[in-house]
Structure 1
Amino acid sequence: MTLDEFNHFCKALPHTTHVVQWGNSEVWKVGGKVFAIGSIGKDGHPAFTFKTSEQNYYFLEEKPGYRPAPYLASRGMKWIQQYNCDSNEDEALEYYLSASFKLVSLGLTKKMQKELGLNQSQ
């Protein structure tokens, strides 16, 4: 997945906002909370960082092309970074980005969820 494809995918999720910060990282938020970060690594390849469930965190940290997210994981947060992956991982990345969006949106206050029209069926 390219950085442009990443941005296009995240933009299509409901009620997302986008900022460029932290050294030109593409930061995507829902309700003011970060759910995905896209950047270009030192090797010139895109890297995508997202929040994940505890189970997926332990699965992905052992999978080639994935690692605990720099800075975030070292502080005990369950964030993973996908880097140096083939395009055959794009569908998996879309799944994990969607799951991250859902995890973060579920962490918003009930008031914020209602204002954004999110998670009302859960």
Structure 2
Amino acid sequence: MNETELKALSRDWPGVASAVKWDDDLCFTVAGKMFAVYCLHGPHRGRISFKVDAERFLELTDQPGIVPAAYMARAFWVSIAEPDRFARAKIAEFVRRSYELVRAGLSKRLQAGLDAAQAANSKS
């Protein structure tokens, strides 16, 4: 999965934005909180990092091709070091779950605002 596919995947999710940070990483956020990072340049080009359920962290990092994310592992983030090992649908599932986890951590007020914005967009 590349950056264009990630943008297309998350484009219609409420509150999602993306921007390049740290010169090399395309960061996807919901209401300003990161839920996925795609490395654009350098030795880790193509690597995708995202948040996972705490109870799945060890299970996932035991799989070939998935490692704890640098600087973010303590917050239960993993990196798919070898994206070609995984089907696009599986990566999409991981990224969607990350979005849901981060969104669930937002205040109820922010979540309600995202829901209202989505409802308004779907009516137009």
Same fold at TM > 0.5? yes
Instruction: State the identity as a percent.
Output: 25
Unaligned ranges ≥5, structure 2: 117-124
Bigger share in helix: 2
Normalising by structure 1, we get a TM-score of: 0.85
Deviations 1:39-85 (A, max 9, x none): 14644640101001012211110111110001111xx2100001223
Unaligned ranges ≥5, structure 1: none
Q: Stretches of 4+ moved more than 6 A in 1?
A: none
Question: In the alignment, is the contact (CA less than 8 A) between 1:39 and 1:46 conserved in 2?
Answer: yes
Match of 2:84 in 1: 86
The alpha-carbon distance between structure 1 residues 89 and 41, as it changes in their structure 2 partners (threshold 3 A), is farther
Normalising by structure 2, we get a TM-score of: 0.83
Match of 1:72 in 2: 72
SS in structure 1 of the partner of residue 70 of structure 2: coil
Match of 1:106 in 2: 104
Superposition pairs for residues 1-122 of structure 1, below 5 Å? Answer: 1-40=1-40, 42-43=42-43, 45-73=45-73, 76-86=74-84, 88-117=86-115
Match of 2:120 in 1: none
Letter in 1 for 2:17: T
The alpha-carbon distance between structure 1 residues 8 and 45, as it changes in their structure 2 partners (threshold 3 A), is same
Aligned residues: 116
